[in-house]
Structure 1
Amino acid sequence: MSLRALRTLLAIAQHGSFVQAAQSVHLTQSAISLHIKSLEEEFNASLFDRSRRLPVLTDAGHVAVERAREIVTLYDSIAAEIGGDSELRGRLKIGVIHTALASILPQALVTLGVLHPHLRLTVASGMSAELATRLEAGELDVAITTEPVKPHPYGLVSTTLYEEGFWIIAPSALAGLDTRQLLEQQPFIRFDRRAWAGRTIERELRRLRLRVNTAMELDSQEAIIQMVTQGLGVAVVPLSRRNLEQLGHLKIQPFGSPQRIRRVVLLEREDRPRGRLAAALANVIQQQTSE
């Protein structure tokens, strides 16, 4: 039994096909088939029901996948465990929401790379609920998401990284307008309502009985800010203290009564297979956002 064959098994279980699994682990489809054949011979059991168009795990296959995930996780954590106290080693697969990806994460990765040059970091972006699901499935080691994450998979724990307030942003030419005039009389650029931030904004608009005239609905905070900067409308977005300092050219005022706040957290599985690496990432981000 090889570790690579176990990774192959996990890739097939994750992607649901031999073709996509082969692409994800950078092997040919024939090599993938050989890996599974060797595992089935070693375990003396069929891992997939091949009578269907797409491979479906058998009962034995489900057990094998669970044990394979435990073995691979344990193996991947060895480097982190045997590294010195001051220098961390190993691999950390990070999922991150778009707003953090475009703000705090780049500098955090640079700092982490300087402190621990033997760390191997990979990054994937997505929405909070999607990242939480991928974390639970073992595709990610940690995820930077908003709190709460809904639906929140069982067995995840969170560490608060920083807080952001929700703010109304508008072109400076509209400085004389109050909240209701800004949001009801100007074109409104929505934060995507599939995201938790977008749903929070929508709920508060309804609670305050504010009827907006939606001109756009975007999933990129950077794009929303650019649209407002160009005078194409007003918006509500979550902003960090650093963001606020960079947007002095816009009219900015708190959104909500009281102002709505969101927490950005680091999600991990309960068993914390990358505990030391995750703690190092969290520490760098907390220090960076508190400065």
Structure 2
Amino acid sequence: MDTQFLNTFVTVADQGSMAAAARLLNVTPAAVAQQIRTLEREIGAPLFARAGRTVSITEAGARILERARQLLHDVADLSALANDENTAGELRLGAGTNALTGMLPDILARMVERFPRIKVFIKPGFSPELYRAVESGELDAAIVLQAPYALPKTCDWLLLREEPLVVLAPQAMAGRDPHELLANEPLIRFDRQQWGGRLAEQYLQLAGIAPQERFELNALNAIAVMVDRGLGVSLVPDWSRPWPEGLKLVRIPLPMPFEPRRMGIVWSRATVRIRLVNAFLEEARGLMKRTSKVPAASKKK
């Protein structure tokens, strides 16, 4: 059985259409359809029910989907095991939105220059789901927010960056008291369902500020644009660049001491790709030492 056909099967199941899977795999829809038909013949059961341009997985397909995922992961592990003396194989990473455009590209640029034989799979997502993916073994490591709970013994943590809360305001409001802004200007709230948003809510409660809420969302770049357009002020972590270009904003420090948002890397000690993970950690440490917001020493949770 060709593992590429299994990968096509999993991709079609995830995308919900052969055309979308073909775009992701960079092949033609006809090639995807042919691979699925071949796989169905080998397995002896239909894997998808076709309905126009979309497909739905059959009961038979659903029964083998997770096993197929695991088999593909095991095949990827073979390269790491076979190349135990060299830094090669596939590394499976996760990253949040800001890390995807901020820290991660710079770390990977250094890493692939030193270790050109590696292949990297990247899963975007929010920190809670990325922690679960690392704990389950789906991912080897992820750039995430520090978890508000103790990690399992199978995982470890490296602190990369601390991001203090700041009041984000239009440039014309520079010099005004941050508490006065939070109390009297419309608030563009950082989503309280997310860990970073909870920090902002805790500060507002500690300061006794009842804000005039206008919007609530979990998208820091979008919040910056909305503040620039005069829609309100916001209380957010001072997140890493890049930011949207051309914005006229000020970041006003808070008068009361408060815990920063902490970004770092969580990884699984049990992964067979620990050599690749260690190389990733080494490059992350090297890069962060040259930035202004790196702690003096790495810390473990």
TM-score, normalised on structure 1? 0.71
Q: Which residue pairs with 1:160 in the alignment?
A: 158
Tell me the distance in 2 between the aligned counterparts of 1:111 and 1:8: 31
CA contact 2:191–2:216 (8 Å) conserved in 1: yes
CA contact 2:81–2:272 (8 Å) conserved in 1: no
From the superposition, tell whether residues 55 and 134 of structure 1 become closer, same or farther in structure 2 (CA, over 3 Å). farther
Structural mapping, 1:47-86, within 5 Å: 47-48=47-48, 54-58=55-59, 60-83=60-83, 85=85
Q: Provide, for residues 78-102 of structure 1, a one-character-per-residue CA deviation record: whole Å limited to 9, x for no partner.
A: 33333364x5223335332233234
Q: In the comparison of the two structures, how many residue pairs are matched?
A: 279
Which range moves more in the overlay, 219-228 or 182-191?
A: 219-228
The answer to whether the aligner puts 1:144 opposite 2:143 as a matched pair is yes
SS of corresponding position for 2:164? strand
- In structure 2, stretches of 5+ residues that fail to align are 243-248, 291-301
CA contact 1:168–1:234 (8 Å) conserved in 2: no
SS of corresponding position for 2:209? coil
Tell me the distance in 2 between the aligned counterparts of 1:139 and 1:13: 17
Q: Which residue pairs with 1:190 in the alignment?
A: 189
SS of corresponding position for 1:54? strand
SS of corresponding position for 1:148? coil
Q: Provide, for residues 230-249 of structure 1, a one-character-per-residue CA deviation record: whole Å limited to 9, x for no partner.
A: 99864322237999xxxxx9
From the superposition, tell whether residues 42 and 285 of structure 1 become closer, same or farther in structure 2 (CA, over 3 Å). same
Tell me the distance in 1 between the aligned counterparts of 2:120 and 2:69: 20
The answer to whether the aligner puts 1:120 opposite 2:119 as a matched pair is yes
Tell me the distance in 1 between the aligned counterparts of 2:218 and 2:162: 17
* Paired residue type of 1:185: N
From the superposition, tell whether residues 42 and 217 of structure 1 become closer, same or farther in structure 2 (CA, over 3 Å). same
Tell me the distance in 2 between the aligned counterparts of 1:46 and 1:231: 56
Q: Which residue pairs with 2:299 in the alignment?
A: none
Tell me the distance in 1 between the aligned counterparts of 2:268 and 2:50: 32
**C-alpha RMSD over aligned residues:** 4.3
Tell me the distance in 2 between the aligned counterparts of 1:88 and 1:111: 14
Structural mapping, 1:1-291, within 5 Å: 1-48=1-48, 54-58=55-59, 60-83=60-83, 85=85, 87-121=86-120, 123=122, 125-129=124-128, 131=130, 142-148=141-147, 157=155, 159-169=157-167, 174-175=174-175, 177=177, 179-193=178-192, 195-206=194-205, 208-214=207-213, 219-221=218-220, 224=223, 234-239=233-238, 250=250, 252-254=252-254, 259-267=258-266, 272=271, 274-290=273-289
Tell me the distance in 1 between the aligned counterparts of 2:182 and 2:110: 39
Which range moves more in the overlay, 129-138 or 7-16?
A: 129-138
CA contact 1:97–1:127 (8 Å) conserved in 2: yes
Q: Which residue pairs with 1:246 in the alignment?
A: none
TM-score, normalised on structure 2? 0.69
* Paired residue type of 1:166: P
From the superposition, tell whether residues 47 and 216 of structure 1 become closer, same or farther in structure 2 (CA, over 3 Å). closer
